[in-house]
Every structure is written in C-alpha cells, then in structure tokens.
Amino acid sequence: MRYVSKSERKTASEMTWTEIVKHVRDATACDDSAARRQIGEAIEDGRLTAQWSDARVNRNLSPLSPIPDVPPRNADYWQECEIDGGDPDRVLEPPPYDAAMVTKRHAKRLDKARRFRKPVFQRNVVLQLWPIATGGKRIGAVSRKRGAKSFQGDRVRDEMRNDLRKCHLTAQQLYDMKEVELEARYGASRDTCRNARNAVLAESGFVDNSAK
C-alpha cells in the first residue's frame, strides 16, 4: 500500500470553492447562485465552517491576540463574493472596514490591500449537509419512496421558506415573481415552482410577510 502523506490526507479531507459549489448544485439540482446561497446560509447558521488555506497560525493566546484569520460567516458574502478570474477556487477578501465609517477615498486605498484567497471546507460535513445521489438513492439521507418531482417540490419549498425567514424576499415579492424568474432562482420547472410558491404562501407563518 502506498504511503499517503499528511498533506495528501488533508487535501483529500477538504473541498475547494469550485468543488463545493458544484457538489451543492448537483446534489440539489440548482444553479450556481442558489448553491452559493445555500452554502452561505449553512456557514451563517454554524452548520458549515470555512477556512483560508493560507490562514495565519496564531500561537499567541493572550487577551491581546489579533483577530482570527478566518473567512466571513455572513451569508451575503458567500452569495456575492468576487471570484478570481485566473483561479476560480479563490475569492476576494471582504472589505477590512465598515463602509459607513470611512470615506470613499479611504475605502479605495484600503481596497488595494485586499487579495484573492482560497477557502476550503470539510468534505465530510459537506456530504452530510448535501447527500449525493447514486443509483436513485441519496447517500446519507433518510430512505423514502418518492419520485424526483416530489423531491424537487420539497427542496424548492424549503428554499422559499428560507428566503422568507431570512428576509431575502417578502411574501409579496415572492408572489409577484414571474415564473421564468422562479425557474431561474430555484432551479426547478415552472410548474414545480408555482405549486411550491402557492403552498408556502398559504402557510400561516408567511401570510403577513408582505412588502411595505
């Protein structure tokens, strides 16, 4: 048996940005935008951890230790982060400032220090959150006798509920969306999206979540 080095084992235990986006996209039959949204929400909810592959190791455990070198946990960052054109596994660091607290000139100067970095994710956690399908069954998921259409409907309803709960959309905005927009956003057929929307908007928890 060939010896497997520590670095090889570490690499095998992780997923890169392109790998996790593709995995979530394939596992949930959605587009890249929806996959990025799911990844961001999992990170924000504490279900998934992201790390920089080149993170600085902080061995200073005093109260004056510098801020940990970790990627952002807010979902919006992962939904909107800029991808490096030369290496799609790298994303642009978030701004090192609060936009409301600095001038545009100062922000422009600080932005020059931002760089593209490579986030990595624990493969086993990703596979638990988004089980892969094989032979008609989803590995890691509860076995059920159901068709692809039923699974798609459940997924779209869950994503719509998440959008409403996290205020990515109001009920009125969801109601007003054209079917072609629903199809693109949720990666399912128009009939599936329309039926899912009707079901979600009929639920009491979302009836009053209307645009102001």
126 and 153 in a single domain? The answer is no
Span 20-38, average pLDDT: 93
Q: Which of the listed residues 85, 115, 137 is the one where a domain comes to its end?
A: 137
Q: In this structure, is residue 133 part of a structural domain?
A: yes
The total number of structural domains that make up the chain: 2
Token pair of 72 as six digits: 């952002």
Q: What is the Cα–Cα distance from 42 to 76, expressed in whole angstroms?
A: 12
Q: 144: how many CB neighbours lie within 10 A of its CB?
A: 10
Q: What is the Cα–Cα distance from 31 to 22, expressed in whole angstroms?
A: 9
Q: Which domain holds residue 120?
A: 6-137
Q: What pLDDT, on the 0 to 100 scale, is given for residue 144?
A: 40
Could you tell me the pTM of the whole model? 0.58
Q: What is the Cα–Cα distance from 193 to 157, expressed in whole angstroms?
A: 8
Span 36-40, average pLDDT: 95
Q: In this structure, is residue 1 part of a structural domain?
A: no
Q: Is the pLDDT of residue 98 over 90?
A: no
Q: Phi and psi for 67 in degrees, rounded to 5?
A: -60, 135
Q: What pLDDT, on the 0 to 100 scale, is given for residue 212?
A: 39
Residues 101-139: tens digit of each pLDDT: 778 888 788 888 889 999 999 999 999 999 875 444 444
3-state class of 30 per DSSP?
coil
CA angle 187, 25, 161 (to 5 degrees): 55
